[in-house]
């Protein structure tokens, strides 16, 4: 929904009428403004879709009593990880740091998720991890990533049904760029089923502002 909408004069008048007289029918609103119901229909639709008004059949329009900030908060509570997650880029814990660098470059991502032989999450590799290993002048083709990765349980994860706003708070608090989207495995541990990045979250908030 568009929550930063700038109301025109007629829409502001409609809100005032509904605040003072609600519930009130569209016909009665039109009468007060000396306009036809058809003329008001687009304005009423905008105000209802934006969340300023609520409408009930055979009853009329109600003022929701919510500010733009409250409406924004309501809509943020409807954005879930599963609707915005992207495909994860995963490597095995035994691959070399060199191969991990190549994978990160080819996939154009900032984080790799590391799994064991059972495809369970065991670690995370960031650009900083790989850069640090490269600067150390170590033999990158023989150094496995499990030596330099951040290991479980020191990994922030999220689930498909988590709220996007909660994950965003975690990214800010932990100062990380992305988290794996996981599900619990029958054998214990987590399977990686997606990733959520700052870009994913930014796109979600832009879509919200553009009413997509």
| Same-domain status, 131 and 72 | no
Residue at a domain's end among 47, 76, 105: 76
Main-chain phi, psi angles of 6, to 5 degrees: -95, 115
CA 100 to each of CA 140, 144, 159, 176: distance values in angstroms, whole numbers, following the listed order: 10, 9, 25, 19
Domain with 131, as residue range(s), is 81-208
Q: Per the domain annotation, does 100 fall within a domain?
A: yes
Flag whether pLDDT at 182 surpasses 70.
yes
3-state secondary structure of 116: coil
Q: Per the domain annotation, does 1 fall within a domain?
A: no
Residue that wins the pLDDT comparison between 2 and 98: 98
Flag whether pLDDT at 97 surpasses 80.
yes
Domains: count for the chain? 2
CA 183 to each of CA 45, 48, 61, 67, 160: distance values in angstroms, whole numbers, following the listed order: 40, 38, 43, 37, 8
**pLDDT tens per residue, range 22-79:** 788 999 999 999 999 899 999 898 888 877 888 888 788 888 876 565 666 667 778 8
CB atoms under 10 Å from CB of 10, counted, come to 14
Flag whether pLDDT at 157 surpasses 80.
yes
Supply the pLDDT for residue 105.
Answer: 94
Residue at a domain's end among 51, 76, 101: 76
Supply the pLDDT for residue 2.
Answer: 40
Angle between helices 127-135 and 97-107 (to 10 degrees): 140
Contact 1, 211 (CB under 8 A): yes
| Same-domain status, 50 and 71 | yes
In angstroms, rounded to a whole number, what is the distance separating the alpha carbons of residues 180 and 116?
A: 15
| Same-domain status, 95 and 178 | yes
Contact 33, 21 (CB under 8 A): no
Q: Measuring CA to CA, which residue among 22, 67, 70, 16 is closest to residue 43?
A: 16
Residue that wins the pLDDT comparison between 108 and 1: 108
Cβ-based burial of 9 (10 A; exposed 0-12, middle 13-18, buried ≥19): exposed
| Same-domain status, 71 and 88 | no
**pLDDT tens per residue, range 100-152:** 999 999 999 999 999 999 999 999 999 999 998 888 667 899 999 999 999 98
Which residue has tokens 């989207």?
Answer: 181
The structure tokens listed for 133 are 């290993």
Helix (H) or strand (E) holding 19: helix 9-21
CATH number reported for the structural domain that contains residue 28 in this entry:
1.10.10.10
Residue at a domain's end among 44, 76, 108: 76
Q: Per the domain annotation, does 3 fall within a domain?
A: no
Q: Per the domain annotation, does 150 fall within a domain?
A: yes
Cα angle value 188/192/195 (rounded, 5°): 145
């Amino acid at each position: 929904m568009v929550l930063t909408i700038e109301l025109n004069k007629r829409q502001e008048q409609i809100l005032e009428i509904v605040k003072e007289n609600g519930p009130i029918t569209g016909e009665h609103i039109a009468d007060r403004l000396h306009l036809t119901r058809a003329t008001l229909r687009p304005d009423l639709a905008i105000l209802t879709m934006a969340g300023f008004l609520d409408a009930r059949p055979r009853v009329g329009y109600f003022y929701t009593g919510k500010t733009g900030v409250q409406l924004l908060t309501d809509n943020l509570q409807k954005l879930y990880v599963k609707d915005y997650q992207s495909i994860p880029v995963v490597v095995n814990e035994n691959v070399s740091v060199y191969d991990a660098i190549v994978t990160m470059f080819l996939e154009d991502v900032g984080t790799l998720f590391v799994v064991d032989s059972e495809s369970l999450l065991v670690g995370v590799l960031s650009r900083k991890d790989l850069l640090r290993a490269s600067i150390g002048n170590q033999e990158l083709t023989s150094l496995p990533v499990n030596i330099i990765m951040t290991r479980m349980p020191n990994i922030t994860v999220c689930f498909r049904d988590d709220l996007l706003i909660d994950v965003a708070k975690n990214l800010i608090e932990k100062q990380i760029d992305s988290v794996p989207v996981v599900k619990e495995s029958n054998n214990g541990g987590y399977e990686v089923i997606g990733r959520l990045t700052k870009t994913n979250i930014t796109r979600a908030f832009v879509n919200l502002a553009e009413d997509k």
